Amino acid sequence: MALLIHLLQEEADVLVSIVRAAAQAANEVDHTRAADRLPKRLVLGGIRRDLVRLQRLLAPEPAALFRLVNRPPK
């Protein structure tokens, strides 16, 4: 159980860093738009990549956790 907790904490740290990076990039886009300028495609592409990465990390979780709940380790 300790190993599972450790792995979930590590994964949570990665997810938090991805969300923070995407939020920071989105804030930069907001500031750029507030100045009546168009955001750079590089910034928008970075946000898109962060969100796709987040989606890939989260996609297998519900199935894996459901299996774990139905068949817990001894």
Quick one: pLDDT at residue 58?
A: 77
| Residue scoring higher pLDDT (66 or 13) | 13
Give, as one character, the DSSP assignment of residue 35: T
Task: State pTM to two decimals.
Answer: 0.61
What residue has token string 């904490």? 9
The yes-or-no verdict on residue 68 having pLDDT over 80 is: no
Q: Which of 21, 12, 6, 20 is nearest to 57 (CA)?
A: 12
pLDDT in tens, 14-65: 888 888 888 888 888 888 888 888 777 777 888 888 888 888 877 777 777 7
Q: How far is CA 22 from CA 3, 4, 17, 19, 40, in A?
A: 29, 27, 9, 5, 15
Question: In the chain, where are the structural domains located?
Answer: 38-74
